[in-house]
Structure 1
Amino acid sequence: MRIGQLAARTGASVRSLRYYEEQGLLSAERDSAGRRRYSEAAVARVALIRRGFAASLSSRVIADLLPLMEADCVPRSRALLDAERERLVAQIAAMTQARVRLDEVITIATDPTWRCDASTS
């Protein structure tokens, strides 16, 4: 199938499909005119790539994960995904702390008794 057909079947934009190819996540054969031709398996691969990006995985992690999943290497896939989950948990914790600090700043900044003058800066 051609790139436009793959885009229509997967909901991915043509630009995204080209990006996936640039990142080594998706490959296509080329016809005699140099146009991309994708196999039927590309539909499932694009769906998995899109799920990976939606789950905050980087293109590098997705590139590492795809061959493991295709080889049905569950232990290594699971280890990679568990590590990414822990990274995400740490990011969430850091963002939660940042939100708490921001709430403190908002409280101070909106306190009518607090004034910023030259003596406090």
Structure 2
Amino acid sequence: MIRVWEGILALPIIGTLDSARTQVVMENLLEKIVETGSRIAILDISGVPAVDSLVAQHLIKTVSATRLMGAECIISGIRAEIAQTIVHLGIDLSNIHTKASLASALKLAYSMLNIEVRRGEKKFQG
């Protein structure tokens, strides 16, 4: 779990997700939301090799639990093959924020919190 900004948590998930692991992920995420008072959680699934219907349902439950805690959830790392699998399985993620990359999820998170990030003058001289 990474606190990337005040109010924003990122959770990179690497490897296969099963029921037990997803439960641990959800519990840790919810605890960290309470502990930090974060309003946005980004679940980055770039490191998840495959998504089946069970994994997708676990992700949806995690998003629902996050919302019950008063935070919004963004799922990032949606690769083309994962998008195709989700569509073929008939899983509806239309009410969940999804992004292809962590960078685009962060951009959305900043926007949701009205945080403006812009380039300044280069001050570092190396």
Scaled to the shorter chain, the TM-score interval is: under 0.3
State which structure, 1 or 2, has the greater radius of gyration over its C-alpha atoms. Answer: 1
Relative contact order (alpha carbons < 8 A, sep ≥ 6): 1 or 2 greater?
Answer: 2
- In the superposition, the TM-score normalised over structure 2's length comes to 0.25
Task: Give the structure with the larger strand fraction.
Answer: 2
Richer in helix (by share): 1
